[in-house]
Amino acid sequence: MQPSSLGYLTKQESIAVLGVDDLVIRSLLDKNQFHDPLDEALNLGISSATWPLFGLLWPSGQRMAERMAQRPVGQERILEIGCGLGLSSLVAHRRGANVTASDCHPLTRAFLDENIRLNGLPPLAYRHGLWGTAALREDGLPVLTSAHDAQVSGKFDLIVGSDILYERDDAGTLAHFIDTHAAAAAEIWVVDPNRGNRSAFHKHMARAGFALDEQVLDQPANKDTLAYKGRMLTYTRH
């Protein structure tokens, strides 16, 4: 445990990702951490209940990182959305891929920069990106994005996101966000721990011209890992 003068507690640990060397990751101590004295997170649509979620490592993110470790490195542009601690982005970045991480939490960049430093890596591109109800505050007003937060822009060949289907999205805002930033021929990877919102997302992605391949990722518990249930969703558009 590492005390922080910023009002929250952190920890630092070595994280194993199958296929690559371990990464040193600084994260929040637990999901009970919260510190938003200037309402920066609130003004970005982030409540006290969801504030710590960005700073924790999640099983779905681990599985996305494992797949990223197997991706051949080329010239393609990669975007991770809702990156949190950015484990997948760090794996790709260390392997030499052209990757941009994005999230809407005001502390994501600071944690990402610290984890880059801990692993002796060069700077990693980071952009501010959000969609859906995350674009509204609890009182229904639009979020107030800081002027220094560069927005996601441009087109990407591969877009990845783990556990991003966490809310109903009948309007298709996530699919629209992805379509806005996906190249004409693109691949999208989503790891979903069976949140129950896949069906609507499939429909919106199909309307954007993406075909789906679905892989079951269920894994029983063993002495080293907890049980996991979820799907790897791969959408392609040619």
Cα(213)–Cα(201) distance, rounded to whole angstroms? 13
Cα(28)–Cα(141) distance, rounded to whole angstroms? 29
CB atoms inside a 10 Å sphere around CB 51: 21
**Please, which pLDDT band fits residue 152 given cuts at 50, 70 and 90?**
confident
pLDDT higher for 151 or 62? Answer: 62
The answer, as to whether pTM is greater than 0.85, is: yes
**Please, which pLDDT band fits residue 188 given cuts at 50, 70 and 90?**
very high
CB atoms inside a 10 Å sphere around CB 18: 11
Domains of the chain: 57-237 (3.40.50.150)
Burial 93-131 (b: 16+ CB within 10 A, else e): bbeebbbbbbbbbbbbbebbebbbeeeeeeebebbbbbb
pLDDT higher than threshold 90 for residue 119 = yes
State the average pLDDT for the chain.
90
pLDDT higher than threshold 70 for residue 126 = yes
pLDDT higher for 139 or 105? Answer: 105
pLDDT higher than threshold 60 for residue 145 = no
| pLDDT for 45 | 79
